[in-house]
Amino acid sequence: MLPPSTASTMLRASAGRSAGLQPALLRSATCPYSAGLTTMSPFLSTSPPPSKPLQLRLLSTRPTVITYAAAKSLTINISRRHSSTRSQPPRAATPDAEIDAKAAEEAAKAAKAAHPEQVVLDWNTFFQLRKARRRWQSAFSILSSVAGGFGGAAFLSTGMADSVVSQIPLDPLITLGLLTLSCAALGWLVGPSLGTAVFNTLKSKYKGPMAIKESEFFARIKKHRVDPSASSVRNPVPDFYGEKISSVAGYRQWLRDQRAFNKKKEGAI
């Protein structure tokens, strides 16, 4: 505890030093209380500071100066655009059948443009040629089946296949009969390929146009045929692959059968 005389002496000394320092601080340029007291000082001005422009870098390399009001309106427009795109329903995907049909039509047009010398087939001629080709295939299937059966029987009668026949645990006559039928079935399977080759040789000028027309035909079949998963015993699928179509009238009847199937399916549901 300092005596009262010493305390009063220290207070007078500190007051004298502070009184001497105040004029120096006010004259100094580094004084924090005097350097900022200007006419533009925020402490003397009552108006708010001017708004600084907002700089946004858009797609260009040079900075574009946009005010706060313009930026606000731009944000509102972008949000409205996003909300409008969200409200729109998604587009339905194009079925594969329609894509195949369009591709077949474009391929047909490109082939006609690239080879104008080829014969132009109409649908009636195409169905007639298709029917003739099927007859050739059926005829060669019968011939090759008969030829395969006789050829297999002749080969087995020579005794060259006895080692194979003895390894099968059946009666030898039954085994020989099964092998002969297998040769005939193999000939039946080879027949359509032989018939198609002979038909293409005889009708070589129709080979290219028929291939193009056939791609269009199967694309139409794929586009208009019904969904087989909804079939039943009372409502079977009407000619799913269109194998029975042999004329334009038959194709129209096939379309009516497909629509009738769909109506029965909707009635059952």
pLDDT in tens, 213-242: 999 999 999 989 988 887 888 888 888 999
Task: Give me the chain's average pLDDT, please.
Answer: 73
Report DSSP state, residue 115.
-
CA distances to 50, 59, 76, 147 from 63, rounded to whole Å, are 21, 9, 21, 88
Per the CB < 8 A criterion, the answer to whether 210 and 118 are in contact is no
Length, in residues, of the chain: 269
**112 neighbors 120 (Cβ within 8 angstroms):** yes
Helices 248-268 and 123-157 sit at what angle, rounded to 10 degrees? 90
The whole-number pLDDT of residue 191 equals 94
Average pLDDT of the residues in 10-26 = 45
Q: Is the pLDDT of residue 27 over 90?
A: no
Tell me how crowded residue 196 is: count the other CB atoms within 10 A of its CB. 15
Q: Which helix (H) or strand (E) holds 69?
A: helix 68-87
Residue 111 confidence (pLDDT): 64
* Cβ-contact 226, 258 below 8 angstroms: yes
pLDDT at residue number 113: 66
More confident residue, 41 or 68: 68
d(CA 208, CA 107): 12
Given a cut of 80, is residue 45 above it in pLDDT? Answer: no
Give the mean pLDDT of 3-24: 47
Q: How far apart are CA 140 and CA 196, in angstroms?
A: 9
- The per-residue pLDDT for range 70-117, each reduced to its tens digit, is 555 655 555 555 444 444 444 444 567 677 767 766 776 676 666 666
Instruction: Give pLDDT, residue 115.
Output: 64
Q: What pLDDT score does 120 carry?
A: 77
The per-residue pLDDT for 249 is 93
- State the pLDDT at residue 103: 75
Q: Is 148 exposed, middle or buried (0-12, 13-18, 19+ CB in 10 A)?
A: buried
Closest CA to 203 of 187, 176, 211: 211
Q: What is the pLDDT of residue 3?
A: 54
Which one is predicted more confidently, 159 or 132? 132
Which pLDDT value is given to residue 266? 74
Number of C-alpha atoms within 13 angstroms, CB side, residue 208?
13
pTM: 0.56
- Which tops the pLDDT comparison, 97 or 252? 252
Q: Which two tokens stand for residue 74?
A: 């731009």
Q: Which CB contacts under 8 angstroms, 24+ apart, belong to 24-33?
A: none
pLDDT at 209 over 70: yes
What is the rounded distance in angstroms from the CA atom of residue 88 to the CA atom of residue 131? Answer: 50
Judge contact between 225 and 261, C-beta under 8 A: no
For 145-201, write each residue's pLDDT tens digit.
Answer: 999 999 999 998 888 888 888 888 888 889 889 999 999 999 999 999 999 999 999
